[in-house]
Chain A
Amino acid sequence: MEAIYLDNNATTRCDPAVVEAMLPFFTEHFGNASSIHAFGSEVGKALKKARGQVQALLGAEHDSEIIFTSCGTESDATAILSALRAQPERNTVITTAVEHPAVLTLCEWLEKEGYIVHKLRVDKKGRLDLDEYRSLLNDRVAIVSAMWANNETGTLFPVLEMAEMAAARGVMFHTDAVQAVGKIPVDLKNTRIDMLSLSGHKLHAPKGIGALYLRRGCRFRPLLRGGHQERGRRAGTENSASIIGLGKACELAIEHMDEENTTVRSLRDTLEKGIVSQIGHCFPTGDIARRLPNTSNIAFEYVEGEGILLLLNKLGIAGSSGSACTSGSLEPSHVMRAMGIPYTAAHGTIRFSLSRYNTEAEVKRVIEVVPGIIAQLRKLSPYWCDKGPAASVDGAFAPTYA
C-alpha cells in the first residue's frame, strides 16, 4: 500500500519542478555568483530571478528586502539578535509562550544573558490577549517576535494588527512565518511587519534554505560577517541551487494558493470531522476558526501519542504528536501546556498536516483506521474502562506519581 504522508508541517516533499530547476546548478552552472566570468554571471542572473520570486510570494516592495539564509532558525536568530545589537539601549523582547523552539530557546538563552523576555500567554484555544500585549509595549522593547501560524495547531496570530500596535509605539516587529508562507496569502508591503522568517522545506523547496525579509530602512546588524553576499547582510557563498529551488517553490506556491485554501482545506475538514465524529473523548485543539487550512491537531484522551503514531506508521500513515515521548523530553508539548490542555489529553495529541499532494482516498483511509487504533490503545489504558474513562467508575485509576 502507498504510504500516506500527513506530516507536512514537519517538512514537505520537494516539488519535482523544484528539483528540475535546481539540477543544472549542480552541474553546468556551478559557478560562484561573485565571480566576474561567465560561469558566475549565469548564476548571478538566476539568483536575481529567485529573489524576485520570493519577493512576489511575500508581496515585498523591493527584492533587496529578501536575504537568503540557511534555514528558518537562522532567520529567526538573525532578526532577534540584530534588533538587540542595533538598539543597545533597549533590553526587552516580547514573544509568545507557544513559539517554535527556534525563537523560544533563543529567548531563554537571552534571559540568561540578562535580557528581559516577556512571553505572552494564550487562552484555551491558543489565542493571545492583545490588551496584555499593548500594556507591555514601551521604549525598552527592542523587538516583538510572534509567529504567524503555530506549527502544532495551525492557530493564526493577528500579526498584522500586532505589527501596527508595535509600530505605533516605535517597536520593531518580527514574525516567524515558516508555517504561514505558502499556505495563506501574504502582502508585506501593506503591513507594518519589519522582519519575517521563512523556510524552504515547509513549502516544497529543499531543506537547508531559508530567507529573512527585512523591510528597507529597518536597522540591521548581521549575524554572519565575512563577505559581501546578500549586500553584506549575510556573509557566505550563496547556496545557489537551493536558492533557485526556493524561488521556484515560491512561484508554485502562488499558483497553488487557491488550492491550499479550497481543496486542501476541505480535505482537512473532512479528515477532522470524520475522526472526531466517530471517536468519543477527543477534540481538535487550537483556534479552529482561525487557523492554517492544512492543519488539524486532535487530542485523544487517555491514550499516549507515540503509541498512536507507531500503529499509524505500521499502516503506512505518517503524522506527529505533542506527546513527551516523541520529543525526547519528558514534558508534553509546551504549546499544549500553554493552552492548559490536561496532561492525559496533551500526551495524546496527534497533528495531521496536509499538502496539495494528499488525496481524498488517503483521507478516507485514515478516517477508517484511526478509530480502531484509539480503541486498541484505550483497551490497554488504565484510565479507560470498557466504554468510558475510568474516572467515572469505581476504583478510578490514581497512580502514585513521581
Chain B
Amino acid sequence: MWEYSDKVREHFFNPRNSGPLKDANGIGDVGSIQCGDALRLMLKVDEQSEIIEDAHFQTFGCGSAIASSSALTEIIKGMTLTQALEVSNQNIADYLDGLPPEKMHCSVMGREALQAAIANYRGEEWSDDHEEGALICKCFAVDAVKIADVVNANQLNTVEEVTFYTKAGGGCTACHEGIEEILAGIKAERAGPGEVSPPPLAAALTAAPLAPANASTVLVHAPTVAVSTPTAAVSAPPARRTLVQKIRKIEEVLESVRPMLQRDHGDVELADVQGKTIYVTLKGACSGCMMEVATLGGIQQKMIEALGELVKVLPVSHMPVEA
C-alpha cells in the first residue's frame, strides 16, 4: 500500500466538509475518468466581499483524492476568490505533509476543481487543459504526456535533454527505458511514414553525458533530426568566430537556461573557456544537486547546437589547477 502521511490518513478517515452544500453559488465538477477520480467542489461565496464562506466536496476517488479534497476545503474557507486562486496543488500537498508521487495528480484535481468552481460562480466557461498520462518518472512525478509535450515543443532527442527540461529520469534512472520509448515514438512520427526511425539504443547512447563516444553518436544521429529541424542540426559547418564572439554566444546559451534553473532555486555562471571545454559554476540549489550531471549534459547539448561545434561543459571543480 502507499506510504500515506498521518495527515492524509486522518483526512481520509475523517473528511472535513463532505457532502452536498445547500445554497452553493459556485460548483466545479472535474474528473479524470481513466484514473478513476472525480470531484465536485461546492462554494458559498459572499457576493459583496467575494469571501468563500463555506466549501464542501464530494469525491469519487482513492484515499488521497478524498484527503486532498478535504484539505482543499479547509484551506480555502475564509479566503477571497483572488486569494483562493493563488492556492497551488503544491499547497494542498504540503498541507497534507506530502503525497506519494503517483498521487500528486489528486492535488492537481483539487486545484482544477477550485478553478472550475470559481469560474462557475463568475459565470465563466472553464475548460481543462491538463491532460494526464501514465506516470513515467516516479522520483519527480512526471507523466508521459508531459514528457511528450516538452519533447515536441523543444525538439528534444535524448534522455539527458528530457531530464534537463522536465527532471524526469534524473533520480533513480529506472525510467530511462520508458523515456527512450517516448523519444523513439516521437522521432518515428517526425521522420514520417516510410522512414526508419533510429532504434531506442541510439537515444541511450547519446544520453551518455560527456563520453567521447557521445560526440560521434550525436553526429551520426543528426541527419534524422535534421529532416524536420534544421536549426537543431549539429552537422552544419562551424562558423568562424573569435574567442570573444564565442564567449558571447556561450553567455547567451547560459542566459537562456538560467530561468529554468532559477525556477528550481538554482543558477549557473560561466567560469572559463579553455579550448573546447567550457567550465561553469553551478550555484544555489544546483550545487551539489544529484542531477548535476543531467543539468550539465543539457547545457552541453544546447552549447553544441548553438556553437555548431562539439564542446564539453564541465563544473569548475574539474578545471585543471595548472591552466
With A328-B102, A400-B29, A402-B130 already in contact, the answer to whether A379 and B38 are too (CB < 8 A) is no
Chain B residues, Cβ within 8 Å of A324: 34-36
SS class of chain B's interface: helix, strand, loop or mixed? mixed
Instruction: Give the one of B30, B36, B135 with max A CB within 10 A.
Output: B36
A185 part of interface (Cβ distance < 8 Å)? no
Q: Are B58 and A381 in contact, with the CB atoms below 8 A?
A: yes
Within 8 A of B (CB), among A337-366: 343-344, 346-347
**How far does the alpha carbon of A398 sit from the alpha carbon of B33 in the complex, in Å?**
11
Bound form: Cα–Cα A76–B128 in Å:
43
Q: Please tell me if the beta carbons of A343 and B132 are within 8 angstroms of each other in the complex.
A: no
Collect the chain B residues with CB atoms within 8 Å of residue A305's CB: 62
Report the separation of the CA atoms of residues A402 and B116 in the bound assembly, to the nearest whole angstrom. Answer: 13
Contact across chains for A380 and B33 when beta carbons are under 8 A apart: no
A386 (CB) vs chain B CBs: closest residue: B20
Stretch in B11-19, B216-224, B263-271 with 4+ CB within 8 Å of A: B11-19
Check if B29 sits within 8 Å of A306, measured CB to CB. Answer: no
Contact of A401 among B19, B33, B105, B134 (CB under 8 A): B33
Q: Is A399 at the interface (CB under 8 A from chain B)? A: yes
Structural contact, A304 and B34, CB atoms closer than 8 A: no
Task: Check if A147 is an interface residue, CB within 8 A of chain B.
Answer: no
A322 CB, nearest partner CB in chain B, Å: 10
In the complex, the answer to whether A331 meets B37 with C-beta atoms within 8 Å is no
The reply on A203 being an interface residue by CB < 8 A is no
When distances are taken between beta carbons in the complex, the residues of chain A under 8 Å from B38 are 382-383, 397, 399
**Known A325-B62, A331-B34: A380·B18 in contact at CB below 8 Å:** yes
Is B34 in contact with A382, judged by CB distance below 8 angstroms? no
> Is B127 interfacial (CB-CB < 8 Å)?
yes
What's the least CB distance linking A379 to chain B, in Å?
Answer: 6
Of residues 5 to 42 in A, which have CB atoms within 8 Å of B's CB atoms? none
Is B13 a contact of A314 with CB atoms below 8 Å? Answer: yes
Of A380, A399, A400, which contacts B15 at CB under 8 A? Answer: A380
B39 to A382, Cβ gap below 8 A?
yes
Contact status of A307 and B128, CB under 8 A, knowing A397-B29, A402-B32: no
Measured in the bound complex, the distance between the Cα atoms of B19 and A381 in whole Å is 8
**Neighbouring A residues of B9 by C-beta, 8 Å:** 310
Interface string of B117-160 (1 = CB under 8 A from A): 00000000011101111110000000000000000000000000
B310 interfacial contact with A, CB 8 Å = no
Q: Please, which residues of chain B bring their CB within 8 A of the CB of A400?
A: 29-31, 116, 126-128
Are B36 and A343 closer than 8 Å at their CB atoms? yes
Count B interface residues, CB 8 Å.
41
Is A323 within 8 A of B40, CB to CB? no
Known: A325-B36, A398-B29. A380 touches B116 (CB 8 A): no
Q: For residue B58, which residue of chain A has the nearest CB?
A: A382
**Measured CA separation A346–B33 after assembly (Å):** 11
Contact status B63-A307, CB under 8 Å = yes
Task: Answer yes or no: A247 CB below 8 A from chain B CBs.
Answer: no
Q: Are A344 and B62 in contact (CB under 8 A)?
A: no
In the assembled complex, which residues on chain A have CB atoms less than 8 Å from the CB atom of B73?
none
CB distance from A11 to the nearest CB of B (A): 14
CB distance A304 to B36 under 8 Å?
Answer: yes
Of B32, B34, B131, most A-chain CB atoms within 10 Å: B34
Q: Which of B31, B62, B66, B105 contacts A399 (CB 8 A)?
A: B31
Is A148 close to B, CB under 8 A? Answer: no
Tell which of A304, A329, A331 has the most Cβ of chain B within 10 Å: A304
Contacts of A313 in B (CB 8 A): 1
For residue A68, CB closer than 8 A to chain B, the reply is no
Contact present for A330 and B132 (CB under 8 Å): yes
Q: Is A332 an interface residue (CB 8 A)?
A: yes
Q: How far is the CA of A310 from the CA of B131 in the complex (A)?
A: 28
Tell me the chain A residues, 153-178 only, with Cβ under 8 Å from chain B: none
Contact of A328 among B31, B37, B130, B135 (CB under 8 A): B135
Tell me, rounded to whole Å, the shortest Cβ–Cβ distance linking B114 to chain A: 13
A213 at interface by CB-CB < 8 Å: no
What string of 1s and 0s marks CB contacts (under 8 Å) between B45-85 and chain A? 00000000000001111111110000000000000000000
Q: Give Cα A77 to B103, complex, Å.
A: 32
Of listed A323, A344, A400, residue having the most chain B CB within 10 A: A400
**How far does the alpha carbon of A311 sit from the alpha carbon of B12 in the complex, in Å?**
9
Residue among B18, B33, B128 having the largest count of chain A Cβ atoms under 10 Å: B33
User: B residues bordering A, Cβ < 8 Å?
Assistant: 1, 9, 12-13, 15, 18-19, 29-40, 58-66, 102-103, 105, 116, 126-128, 130-135
Question: Which residues from chain A sit less than 8 Å from chain B, CB to CB?
Answer: 302-307, 309-311, 313-314, 323-326, 328-332, 343-344, 346-347, 379-383, 397-402
Listed by A's residue number, 20 A-B pairs whose Cβ atoms lie within 8 Å are: A302-B60, A304-B36, A304-B62, A306-B62, A307-B63, A310-B1, A310-B13, A325-B63, A329-B135, A330-B132, A343-B34, A344-B60, A379-B19, A380-B19, A380-B58, A382-B58, A397-B40, A400-B126, A402-B130, A402-B131
